[in-house]
Amino acid sequence: MKVSQKETGFAAEYVLLPPADMEVNKAEFIASHPKESLCPKDGRPEFAFIGRSNVGKSSLINMLTRKGLAKVSGTPGKTQLLNYFLINGQWYLVDLPGYGYARLSKTHKKKLAEMIEGYLFNRKELLLAFVLIDSSIPPTRIDLEFVDTLGQRAIPFALAFTKSDRVGKKTIEQNISAFLGKLSETWASLPPYFVTSSERKTGKAEILDYIEKIARK
pTM here is 0.86
| pLDDT for the residue 23 | 84
End-to-end CA distance of the chain: 30
Give 25-70+77-215's CATH code, choosing from 3.40.50.970, 1.10.10.10, 3.40.50.300, 3.30.390.50.
3.40.50.300
Q: pLDDT at position 146, please? A: 96
The structural domains of the chain, with segments of one domain joined by +, span: 25-70+77-215
Backbone angles phi, psi at 51, to 5 degrees: -175, 175
Q: What is the pLDDT, as a whole number, of residue 102?
A: 57
Residue type, 201: K
Those residues with Cβ within 8 angstroms of residue 99's Cβ, 6 or more apart along the chain or in another chain: 50, 51, 52, 53, 112, 113, 116, 142, 146
What is the model's pLDDT at position 118?
96
Query: Smallest Cα–Cα separation from 33: which of 71, 68, 79, 70?
Result: 79
Report the distance separating Cα 151 and Cα 34, nearest Å. Answer: 25
- The per-residue pLDDT for 69 is 76
Spell out the per-residue pLDDT of the chain, length 217, in tens: 334 333 333 333 333 334 445 788 899 999 999 999 999 999 999 999 999 988 999 999 999 997 677 766 555 456 789 999 999 999 999 999 988 765 667 788 888 899 999 999 999 999 999 999 999 999 999 999 999 999 999 999 999 999 999 999 999 999 999 999 999 999 999 999 999 999 999 999 999 999 999 998 7
CB neighbours (10 Å) of residue 89?
10
CA-nearest of 141, 48, 37, 64 to 98 is 48
According to DSSP, residue 10 is labeled: -
